[in-house]
Amino acid sequence: MRLILNKLRFLLPAVSVLLLLISCESSSEVGVEVRPASDALAVKTCCFPVETSLVTVDSIYGRGRDLMFGVYSDPLFGTVKADFLAELHYIADTFPANSVGDSLVFVLFYREFFGDSLSVQEMSAYQLDAALDFSTDYYSNIRPADFTDCSRLFARTSYVPYDLTVPDDTRSSSYVNQIRVRMPDEMMRTLMSDPSLAGSQEAFRDFLNGLYVTNSYGDGCMVMTDSVNLELAFHVNLEVDTGVVRIPSTRIYGANLEATEVQHISYPLNDRPTAAGMAARYADSITLVSSPAGLFTRIKLPLDSIYRKVWTDEQAEDPAYILNINHAALVVETADLEEYSGQLDPPAALLMIREEDMPRFFVQSLYPVAGIPTVMGVYNAAQRRYVFGNMGAYLQSVLKSGQSAFDAASEFVLVPVSGATDVNAAGNTIRHLLRPSGGILRSGTNASPMRVSITYTHL
């Protein structure tokens, strides 16, 4: 009896896929009640399971703002560590006469964090020995050891992501959390007394090449920085008829768009799921996506099957047949794993993109990019699925190009992204998602498979 049940367990996905294909034979008519039958359009809908495989991400594009640092461990998706390298931008202005330094503080501002809000963490920042290059497209597998040996500690402090010492009446929608470290007065005096440091970024690098900011203690929380600054508070003693007036001021040397910032991501325990491990454990019924720089799912559109169904077979019945795809969408459902005890939610949005197009797309980061076929899928928590719509024009074009174009046009990866608010997302800045997330997806061989749904009309 147990042997029979085991065989049925592996046969059910195949039977389900067969039933799915059979269900695609149904068709409907449009306008029958208002037009003669001879004038009606034949509208058909078909569904096709896609091939899926798990991709362990080597790296993602690392340039950008809103950098993450911290460590987060998940029982399924693994332990991820995020830190970053950044240079601070110089200020092209010398200090006024009679300026007196008050304090120099290294500050990390953040509104958003993920994980245990009351866990004790430690931030360490080290001076870079080698400078970052502003014109280089760095990726998240950058080696911090190529830029610093971590022998020159710049700043270190412990912190709690949600600081309970901040009064409730101080917190508001505009409140920004801070990690602050008071710097040596000698550094402050050097900044104020050396006018060459205001001459250029190259001259400023002689004073400070940049910083490597990392989590040196703690687990269970990641912080997304809004800005990273070195803030110099000073005052100018201005002599007036009545005496001396003290005029306070602040100079902010920030890691901004004019400077270089690079996200570094690693999985130090090498404990991410593998394709072989997932297949052995779940019989290829599920696949995964995760961030940051964790797992993608590769899909292969069944273009040959689609071509035979919506083009070859139809044309055999009617040589005058003209294909018109009204709508096409990739449907991706999430699944439950009873043994999963982690806290990660599915990514809010996934981008369907060809793997070879990713470097050019994410360097520009605008959606859409001319010449790069991409489709956005936003997660619907109520329906527990992503729907990648707006695929009709792409499939229409590929199918009309013929089977010789299928190999180059069929493979895509599903990538967690941020910046998308809807499936159109026109003109949005789309970046790799850095916030920890994990999605458990039904694969192309699941009982309810990942599939392409096509509605087309016989013209």
pLDDT at residue 14 in the model: 45
In this structure, the answer to whether residues 115 and 146 fall within a common structural domain is yes
What is the pTM for the complete model shown?
0.87
pLDDT at residue 36 in the model: 44
Q: What's the structural domain count of the chain?
A: 2
pLDDT at residue 370 in the model: 85
In this structure, the answer to whether residues 405 and 333 fall within a common structural domain is yes
pLDDT at residue 319 in the model: 81
pLDDT at residue 10 in the model: 39
In this structure, the answer to whether residues 307 and 401 fall within a common structural domain is yes
**3-class DSSP string for the chain:** CHHHHHHHHHHHHHHHHHHHHHHCCCEEEECCCCCCHHHCEEEEEEEEECEEEEEECCCCECECCCCEEEEEEECCCEEEEEEEEECCCCCCCCCCCCEEEEEEEEEEEEEEEEECCCCCEEEEEEECCCCCCCCCCCECCCCHHHCCCCCCEEEEEEECCCCCCCCCCCCCCCCCEEEEEECCHHHHHHHHHCHHHHCCHHHHHHHCCCEEEEEEECCCEEEEEEEEEEEEEEEEEEEECCEEEEEEEEEEEECCCCCCEEEEEECCCCCCCCHHHHHHHHCCCEEEEEECCCEEEEEECCHHHHHHHHHHHHHHHCCCCCEEEEEEEEEEEECCCCCCCCCCCCCCEEEEECHHHHHHHHHHCEECCCCCCEEEEEEECCCCEEEECCCHHHHHHHHHHCHHHHHHHHEEEEEEEECCCCCCCCCEECEECCCCEEEEEECCCCCCCCEEEEEEEEC
Quick: pLDDT tens for 119-174: 999 999 999 999 999 999 999 999 999 999 999 999 999 999 999 988 888 887 78
**Residue 302's domain spans which residues?**
24-58+272-458
In this structure, the answer to whether residues 52 and 199 fall within a common structural domain is no
In this structure, the answer to whether residues 351 and 311 fall within a common structural domain is yes
In this structure, the answer to whether residues 104 and 227 fall within a common structural domain is yes
Residue 353 lies in a domain: yes
pLDDT at residue 177 in the model: 95
Residue 285 lies in a domain: yes
Residue 66 lies in a domain: no
In this structure, the answer to whether residues 237 and 316 fall within a common structural domain is no
Residue 63 lies in a domain: no
Residue stretches of the chain with pLDDT short of 50: 1-23, 25-38
Residue 317 lies in a domain: yes
In this structure, the answer to whether residues 361 and 415 fall within a common structural domain is yes
In this structure, the answer to whether residues 93 and 234 fall within a common structural domain is yes
In this structure, the answer to whether residues 232 and 323 fall within a common structural domain is no
Residue 428 lies in a domain: yes
Quick: pLDDT tens for 79-124: 999 999 999 999 999 999 999 999 999 999 999 999 999 999 999 9
In this structure, the answer to whether residues 248 and 333 fall within a common structural domain is no
Q: How far apart are CA 457 and CA 42, in angstroms?
A: 6
Residue 222 lies in a domain: yes
Residue 199 lies in a domain: yes
In this structure, the answer to whether residues 207 and 290 fall within a common structural domain is no
Final residue of a domain: which of 232, 266, 300? 266
